[in-house]
Amino acid sequence: MTDSAQSLRIRWQEALVAARGGEGPDPLPYADNLLARWAEPQRAYHTTAHLAAVLDRIDTLAGHAADADAVRLAAWFHDAVYRPDRSENEERSAVLAERALPEAGVPDAVTAEVARLVRLTVTHDPAADDANGEVLCDADLAILAAAPKEYGEYAAQVREEYGFVPDEAFREGRAAVLRQLLGLPRLFRTPYGAAEWEPRARQNLLTELELLTGA
């Protein structure tokens, strides 16, 4: 097992034990099941590296969350089911959480919150009073504010995941996604995200859009 996988197993164990607040089954088989999902061959961006990055960003934003451990569990599940050619990934990921977390000893209320947060990643549009949702969505979108080289690698990985889509159709679809993101009043909802990530993310999105469209 790699050091990164072992580190993720420990992070899962800490979040699960904190969320369930008592005794329960061994957390590590659940971690291993999830890590196997995140390592599936159809993934180029939505990998364990993305999971680790989202967890790192949740740690940065944790003070804003109402229940940071529920947000961390949601991060583990938010792309646990991922098939680029399907549209119901978030729903299937939420259902997986609803099945696995009670078995792992997590209270029903926390399980419901985790599943709600996973479903929220369909739109990345949390309500103004949804602190947990703001943290998860900002952490998931923080790649948009990466340095140009890292952002370029992210964009290439997304293209790789959609390798079954012809170039022209991909350019049209990706450009529509970028325009939708640029049309949002705010990409990031937490104070930290708005201050630290928003300007660079918008510049990255504009640059990618120009490269795709030649505009």
Residues 6+ apart with CB under 8 A from 27: 12, 13, 16, 17, 104
Q: What is the pLDDT of residue 22?
A: 81
Q: What is the pLDDT of residue 215?
A: 59
pLDDT tens-digit readout, 57-90: 999 999 999 999 999 999 999 999 999 999 899 9
The pTM (predicted TM-score) of the whole model is 0.96
Per the CB < 8 A criterion, the answer to whether 8 and 31 are in contact is: yes
Could you give the residue ranges of the DSSP H alpha helices within 145-213? 148-161, 167-182, 191-196, 198-213
* Whether the predicted pLDDT of 210 surpasses 90: yes
Q: What is the pLDDT of residue 59?
A: 98
Q: Among 116, 115, 122, 54, which Cα is nearest to 87's?
A: 122
* Whether the predicted pLDDT of 3 surpasses 90: no
pLDDT tens-digit readout, 117-163: 999 999 899 999 999 999 999 999 999 999 999 999 999 999 999 99
